[in-house]
Chains A and B, each alone.
Chain A
Amino acid sequence: MEILRNLWRRKLRTTLTVSGIVMGIFALTTMGSLAEHFNVLLGGGITYYGGSIQVTDDKSNGGFGAGAMSLDTLQKIQQVDGVLAAGPAVGTSAKPGSVSTVSFGVPDYIMNFDATTTAHSPFKISVASGAFPNDASRFQVTLGSTLASEFRKHVGDTIMLPVRPKDATSDFINHRFTVIGVLDQTLTAPDNGAYVSLHDAQMLLGESLPAALRGTVNPYQLITSVVAYGRPGVNLDALATRITAVVPGVKATKPSDLVSSFKSGGAIFTFMTTAAALLALIIGGLSVVNTMIMSVTERTREIGLKKAIGAKTRNILSEFVAESTAMGLIGGLIGFLLGMLMTFLLNNGDPSGGLFLITPRLTLIALVFAVALGAGAGVIPAMRAARMDPVTALRAQ
């Protein structure tokens, strides 16, 4: 209580100092929540891609940029020594033609659900309600949590897929799908997915081809990639190299290459958070140091009195550090709450669910950082106070 009373003696100065910390922690919270969102997103990617091998045709760049390949290739990959299981992956865009000049996340997609291979994936997805489609499913879809909330769909509702773009051409085709399930939130790629049977995914892939090509290919013989899993103990990078060598016309990407790529993406966001923390440190820290030095100067006689009545060096030190820590805590709490409010408002206005994620870890980091900032910045002024000569301090004017 006395700490707060002392801080409130100089209302304007304390308010300005706390504002400095508020700004810093606000920046740390918003930047940090952005980084947390992408860390989770990339973490999911690392788990998924680190435990499987993505095989595409040898002219594509892999992953979501894969071109079409023949279903026959799947059998050849399944026969490669060391492969435990391999399943087809057929993906198309859920919102073809949508304009996204800046995208930090995974685009909405439609993908076949392959129960056999999914069982081997280290990245598990589960339904919050309903079920996954099976091979016999037709025009049934299980939606990722973000897609479901964006279109406000629940089990039993219907949804037109792919979503018709505003400037759709006359040959655009989509179908009414019944929602049979909604996935649990993963905070990563599956949240933006719509899972259908292989048959339906192939149909949609065929329909996504330019009109001139549609009649020339059988879409039910096409897949966009193969996901392969290795037997226990098999080195997946070596297995990827072997698949590329053994199966003609395919390129198996080494899991370690994909993981490194994800990690380098994560480093950018870690840098952003660190920069925000540094900003907080400079603005907040210097304000606290300045305020506490002024406070010590103004309260010289008080320090002298306290020493006269028995305060030891550590008592004075801890009293002043407690005050600066309180400023850090107050500024941290306000800054964090403002950051939380801001991210909530921004996420709320974003149909895809938003880019910001406040995690318990971020909460802890922001508050601990604010407290440590206050305490650390208060140490030097507090040392000055604690080392004062009691006689000089008592008679200061």
Chain B
Amino acid sequence: MATIKTLGLSKTYGTGESMVKALDGVDLTIEQGEFLAIVGRSGSGKTTMLDCMGLLMRPSSGAVIVDGTDASTLNDGQRAELRSKRIGFIFQEFNLLPTMSAMENILLPLRYSGGDRKAARIRAEGFLEEVGLAKRANHRPTQMSGGEQQRVAIARSLINEPTLVLGDEPMGEVDTDTANALLEFMRRINAERRVSFVIVTHDLDLAARTDRVIRLRDGHVISDERPSRQLVQRPAAAAAA
């Protein structure tokens, strides 16, 4: 079963002469365990696409189907429920809560999904261990670097064991080395847990290191390609050199 599917997804902003079509009939299927990027210039519709896929925004027409559930038939509460259990988010600016420690930030989604807190804590400790932040569990975001904060944010996106993680320019605020480390971590999670990752980015090098690149322009999908393994390896090799 597809992790997420969009059918004729359209979104318009404004009315009359000021009307803008951000998405125009986008059909897209993302299978379980895919690791892909959505690229495009500013105004191409990629952020709107992410918002619709994340059930943060209702499309003007069309449907978003998450793990077989047509989200257009759900009310706001049901969409929030589905979002909390099936979808994780990573943002460019991390969006960690400043009054909470790293561990509390990671466990925050549990407050709304109502999952097993004890099991989640064990998972959170595992994530922190995996990203080398085990000793920083009680640190506040202000006491951490950008890379560390983003690792905490990734752990938060995974805590409810979602089937899909959506990243909005997740490497936009970190340096190249940190970006590589974050990407490696996400790829490992993707491979080990079969969690699908969709990353919206301007960064074509980053996009080239995913398994599938979808290009948007003016609300349309203009290409949907799977970079060759050689292409995937090249930027990493270049970075190493």
Residues on A facing B (Cβ under 8 Å)? 2, 5-6, 9, 301-302, 304-313, 315, 390-391, 394
Which of B27-35, B75-83, B171-179, B215-223 contacts its partner?
B75-83
B127 at the A interface (CB under 8 A): no
Q: Which of A2, A9, A310 contacts B109 (CB 8 A)?
A: A310
A310–B113 Cα gap in the complex (Å)? 7
Interface status of B191 (Cβ within 8 A of chain A): no
Are A394 and B91 in contact (CB-based, < 8 A)? yes
Cβ-defined partner of A394 (8 Å) among B77, B83, B95, B109? B95
Judged by a CB distance under 8 angstroms, whether B108 is at the interface is yes
Measured CA separation A302–B57 after assembly (Å):
17
B77 and A308 within 8 A (CB): no
Cβ–Cβ < 8 Å partners of A2 in chain B: 99-100, 104
16 example contacts (A-B, Cβ-Cβ < 8 A) are as follows A2-B99, A2-B100, A5-B99, A6-B99, A305-B91, A307-B80, A308-B89, A309-B83, A309-B84, A309-B109, A310-B80, A310-B160, A390-B56, A394-B56, A394-B91, A394-B95
Residues of A within 8 A of B77 (CB): 312-313
Q: Ordered nearest first, which 7 A-B pairs have the shortest CB separation? A: A310-B84, A310-B112, A5-B99, A309-B109, A305-B95, A312-B80, A390-B56
CA distance A307 to B80 in the complex (A): 7
Chain B residue with the shortest CB-CB distance to A309: B109
CB nearest neighbor in B for A319:
B111
- Which residues on A sit within 8 Å (CB–CB) of B111? 311, 315
Task: Report yes or no: A312 in contact with B56, Cβ–Cβ below 8 A.
Answer: no
Chain B residues 75 to 128 lying within 8 A of chain A, measured CB to CB, are 76-77, 80-81, 83-85, 88-89, 91, 95, 97-100, 104, 108-109, 111-113
Q: Which of A313, A315, A394 has the most CB of B within 10 A?
A: A394
Which of B81, B91, B99, B100 has the most chain A CB atoms inside 10 A of its CB?
B99
* A312-B97 contact, Cβ under 8 Å, with A390-B56, A391-B57: no
Q: Does B67 contact A (CB under 8 A)?
A: no
- Whether B85 and A310, one on each chain, are in contact in the complex, defined by CB atoms closer than 8 angstroms, is yes
* Whole-angstrom CA separation of A307 from B54 in the bound complex: 11
A397 to B210, CA, bound (A): 30
- Give the residues in chain A near B160, CB-CB below 8 Å: 310
Interface centre among A309, A311, A391 (most CB of B within 10 A): A309
Indicate if the CB atoms of A306 and B99 lie closer than 8 Å. no
Task: With a 10 A CB-CB cut-off, give which of A2, A6, A305, A308 has the most chain B CB atoms.
Answer: A308
Q: Across the interface, which residues of A come within 8 angstroms of B54, CB to CB?
A: 308
Query: What is the number of contacts between chain A and chain B, taking CB atoms within 8 Å?
Result: 61
Give the interface size class of chain B: 20 to 34
Chain B residues whose CB sits within 8 angstroms of the CB of A305 once the complex forms: 91, 95, 97
* Closest Cβ neighbor of B81 among chain A residues: A310
Closest to B166 in A: A308
Chain A residue at minimum C-beta to C-beta distance from B104: A2
B211 within 8 A of A: no
Chain B residues near A302: list those with CB within 8 A.
95, 97
A315 CA to B111 CA, complexed, in Å: 9
Tell me which of A5, A306, A390 contacts B112 (CB under 8 A). A306
Decide if B83 touches A310 in the complex (CB within 8 Å). yes
15 more CB-based (< 8 A) A-B contacts, given A308-B56, A310-B83: A2-B104, A5-B99, A9-B98, A304-B95, A305-B95, A307-B80, A309-B89, A310-B81, A311-B84, A312-B112, A313-B76, A313-B77, A315-B111, A315-B112, A391-B56
Query: Which residues in window 155-211 of B have CB below 8 A to A?
Result: 156, 160
Shortest Cβ distance from residue B75 to the other chain A in the assembled complex, whole angstroms? 10
Complex Cα gap A312–B114 (Å): 12
CA–CA, A31 and B116, complex, Å: 50
Distance, CA A308 to CA B162, complexed state (A): 13
Residues in B with CB closer than 8 Å to A311 are 80, 84, 111-112
Question: Closest CB-CB distance, B165 to chain A, in whole Å?
Answer: 12
- Nearest chain-B residue to A308 (Cβ)? B89
| Smallest CB separation, B189 vs chain A (Å) | 17
* Known contacts A2-B100, A312-B81, A394-B95; A307 and B108 CB within 8 A of each other: no
Q: How far is the CA of A9 from the CA of B97 in the complex (A)?
A: 12
Residues of B within 8 A of A301 (CB): 95
- With both chains docked as a complex, state the minimum distance between the C-beta of B166 and any C-beta of chain A, in angstroms: 9
Bound complex: CA A148 to CA B84 (Å): 70
- In the assembled complex, how far is the CB of residue B89 from the closest CB belonging to chain A, in whole angstroms? 5
Alpha-carbon distance between A311 and B83 when the two chains are bound, in angstroms: 9
Give Cα distance in the complex from A305 to B83, angstroms. Answer: 12
**Measured between alpha carbons, how far is A14 from B159 in the docked complex, in Å?**
33
Residue on A nearest B89 in the bound complex, by CB:
A308
Q: Residues of B contacting A5 with CB < 8 Å?
A: 99-100
User: CA separation between A2 and B84, bound complex, in Å?
Assistant: 21
Q: Which of A302, A304, A310 has the most CB of B within 10 A?
A: A310
Chain A positions within 8 Å of B108 at CB level: 306, 309
- Residues of the A chain whose Cβ atoms lie less than 8 Å from the Cβ of B98: 9
| CA distance in complex: A164, B99 (Å) | 68
Using Cβ atoms and an 8 Å threshold, which residues of chain A touch B95? 301-302, 304-305, 394
Closest Cβ of chain A to B61, distance in Å, is: 18
Query: Which chain B residues lie closer than 8 Å to A390 at the CB level?
Result: 56-57
- Give A9 to B140 CA distance when docked, in angstroms: 13
